[in-house]
Amino acid sequence: MTHRHFLIHKPFGYLSQFVCELKKKKLLGELHDFPTGTMAIGRLDEHSEGLLLLTTDGRVSEAIRSKGVEKEYYAQVDGLITDEAITQLQQGVEIGLRDVKYHTAPCTAFRLETPPGFAPRTRKIRDDRHGPTSWVSITLTEGKFRQIRKMTAAVGFPTLRLVRVRIGDIHLHDLPPGSVQEVASFVLPEREEVSS
């Protein structure tokens, strides 16, 4: 059997799945005619955007999820993020996961000096009269539930918009929101190629 692999720029407001019991939810199958058995590798929540990998090969999905592959996100935060907050993010912060506290692993984080040139979101973030915003890049190898949002809130700068721009060596680049690109394989760190 020949498996197929896809990159998608998941837009705001879509679930990272193909089936949902809740009515009026936007699903990935509305964006493209994917083959039967296509699954998302990892997830982005409904309000997050950006790079999502899909495959028909469960072995590929497991290989990528189990290797601690880097995932880079650009977060637009409320306020002008400080050097102190960046340092806290880099060192790890305490966040809540259900009923327990969790200390995030050290990560790469830095302020983006110029805003990334993303297309405007389908739902407006907010008006300028509510104060300034800034952008930060955060790269993780872990992936707890809503982790980036909880991390920026923990250092006093809640996330207003979140876009995943990279998974391992695979970049979002200028793929427009809602677009799908089929690829022959996914390349992992150490140049390990994962294909069917």
> What are the backbone angles phi and psi of residue 182, rounded to the nearest 5°?
-85, 140
Asked if 150 and 162 count as a contact pair (C-beta separation under 8 A), the reply is no
Known catalytic residue: 45? yes
Distance CA 183, CA 43 (A): 19
Measured distance between the N- and C-terminal CA atoms of the chain, rounded to whole angstroms: 8
The catalytic residue among 33, 45, 83, 128 is: 45
β-pairing, 159-167 vs 49-55, is: parallel
β-pairing, 49-55 vs 39-41, is: antiparallel
Distance CA 165, CA 142 (A): 16
Strand partners, 163: 49, 74
Active site residues: 45
